[in-house]
Amino acid sequence: MDDRMSYSHGVEQSNEQHFLEQPKVLVLDCPAIFSFHEKKFEKKFHLLKAWESPLPMEEFLKNHARSVKVILSSFKTRITADILNLLPWVELIACESTGVENIDLVECRKRGITVTNAASAFVEDVADMAIGLLLAVLMKIPAADRDVRFKLWPQNMTFPVGHFKLREKQVGIVGLGNIGLQVAKRLEAFGCSISYTSRKEKHNLSSYKYYPKTQELAINCKILIVCCALTDQTHHIINRNVMEALGKDGIVINVGRGPLIDEKELVKFLVEGKIGGAGLDVFEKEPYVPNELVELDNVVLTPHRAGFTEQAFFDDFQLLVGNIESVFSTTNPLMSPVMELV
């Protein structure tokens, strides 16, 4: 064997040894963050990519059960008691998103499994998207863009006119958490009056008016921005009664989760002109979007991408790596545990 072959063989052995020594991390579905940082994850961890395996999921999990301490979870990954039964050594579920509604938190608590999330990584960008959707709906920007792109401008001098000015309007925020607070801060620059509903009244925010019921909030606002977490209590928090209270000029923006809104009722109200418009980044049965919404000029649609910026994904990558490494280190602390489990 000449020197070059010997060197090449040595490198292969070294790479194989490094691969075997890497901490194993189970990934059930391809997470969005892999679009940006998959190679970086692979340099740090031995990724067990279940979605790429030809084996049935249950068999794949059983094969790796004894070696898996960490699951890297995408926002679409459902982690149930049945899955956890197949993975008795799991200590951490590191979720790439802020929302953890697809993870059985009660079961995790019983088993002593820690759950972490994206914390504030996406907060600023989601708040920006909420305002972007609102302005796009109010000013009918996509409809105007279409008129220019399809050469309709010269012929169509009756192009869509905006709903109303945002300045000094009453805006209701459904869920005044991290994202809701950033949305409110941005709305203050427009001179808007901020009202909100949340699990608890924020006594340190006396300049914002609190309403304990979402329907009451809708009665007193022209715009609702939905950014609360999805739970059993918030499922369809925007329902028929809330939409009726909002009225025919009202606008709904959703950057939370699709099932926060009763989508069938929303479609009906929009088609019948019972509310003024909607900006939706999320939907009840993603990626399905009702055809009626697609055809409406007073609706702006984006594909569940609020917060998807390079900076946000880099921040999220650092959080995920820090949380995962804490399992394999005696010195690295958890960076973003979900507080319900602490």
* pLDDT, tens digit (0-9, with 9 covering 90-100), for 181-227: 999 999 999 999 999 999 999 999 999 999 999 999 999 999 999 99
Residue 15, pLDDT score: 47
Would residue 286 show up in a list of annotated catalytic residues for this protein? Answer: yes
Q: CA angle, corner 189, sides to 186 and 191, nearest 5?
A: 120
Would residue 186 show up in a list of annotated catalytic residues for this protein? Answer: no
Q: How far apart are CA 134 and CA 280, in angstroms?
A: 10
Q: Which residues contact 77 (CB under 8 A, 6 or more apart)?
A: 28, 29, 31, 71, 102, 103
Q: Among candidates 235, 246, 253, which has minimal Cα distance to 273? A: 246
Higher pLDDT, 190 or 154: 190
Could you tell me what percent of the chain has a pLDDT over 90?
Answer: 82
Q: Tokens 């190679």 appear where? A: 39
The one-letter amino acid at 334: L
Q: How far apart are CA 183 and CA 121, in angstroms?
A: 15
Residue 29, pLDDT score: 95
Residue-wise pLDDT tens digits, 274-328 = 999 999 999 999 999 999 999 999 999 999 999 999 999 999 999 999 999 999 9
Beta strands at 223-226 and 170-174: parallel, antiparallel or unpaired? parallel
| Confidence grade of residue 330 (pLDDT, cut at 50, 70, 90) | confident
Residue 127, pLDDT score: 98
18 pLDDT more than 50: no
Residue 305, pLDDT score: 93
The one-letter amino acid at 323: N
Residue 151, pLDDT score: 80
Of the candidate ranges 12-26, 41-55, 64-78, 187-201, the one whose mean pLDDT is the lowest: 12-26
Q: CA angle, corner 62, sides to 67 and 105, nearest 5?
A: 80
Q: Are 244 and 216 in contact, with CB atoms under 8 Å apart? A: no
Categorise residue 119: left if φ over 0, alpha if ψ from -120 to 50, beta otherwise: left
Q: Are 235 and 183 in contact, with CB atoms under 8 Å apart? A: no
What is the chain's mean pLDDT, rounded?
Answer: 91
The tokens describing 38, both together, are 């998959």
Would residue 257 show up in a list of annotated catalytic residues for this protein? Answer: yes
Q: DSSP 3-state helix, strand, coil percentages of the chain (rounded to 5)?
A: 40, 15, 45
Of the candidate ranges 1-5, 38-42, 86-90, 254-258, the one whose mean pLDDT is the lowest: 1-5
The domains located in the chain, with CATH, are 3-121+310-341 (3.40.50.720), 123-301 (3.40.50.720)
Buried b (16+ CB within 10 A) or exposed e, 173-203: bbbbbbbbbbbbeebeeeebbbbbbbeeeee
Per-residue DSSP letter, 279: E
1 pLDDT more than 60: no
Residue 158, pLDDT score: 63
Residue 7, pLDDT score: 43
133 pLDDT more than 60: yes
Residue 154, pLDDT score: 73
Catalytic residue among 124, 163, 257, 263: 257
Q: Are 246 and 275 in contact, with CB atoms under 8 Å apart? A: yes
Is 0.85 surpassed by the pTM of this model?
Answer: yes
The one-letter amino acid at 259: P
Of the candidate ranges 20-29, 124-133, 284-293, the one whose mean pLDDT is the lowest: 20-29
Residue 156, pLDDT score: 67
Residue 2, pLDDT score: 58
Q: Are 99 and 123 in contact, with CB atoms under 8 Å apart? A: no
38 pLDDT more than 80: yes
Categorise residue 177: left if φ over 0, alpha if ψ from -120 to 50, beta otherwise: beta
The tokens describing 146, both together, are 């279409």
Q: How far apart are CA 227 and CA 176, in angstroms?
A: 8
The tokens describing 107, both together, are 């079961």
SS3 310: helix
| Confidence grade of residue 341 (pLDDT, cut at 50, 70, 90) | very low
Q: Are 253 and 130 in contact, with CB atoms under 8 Å apart? A: yes
Could you tell me what percent of the chain has a pLDDT over 70?
Answer: 91
Q: Among candidates 91, 95, 93, which has minimal Cα distance to 117? A: 95
The tokens describing 217, both together, are 């909030």
The beta strands (E) that lie in 208-337 are given as 209-210, 223-226, 251-254, 277-280, 299-301
Give the C-alpha distances (Å, rounded to integers) separating 246 from 58, 138, 195, 222, 266. Answer: 47, 15, 14, 6, 12
Q: How far apart are CA 169 and CA 188, in angstroms?
A: 10
Higher pLDDT, 31 or 341: 31
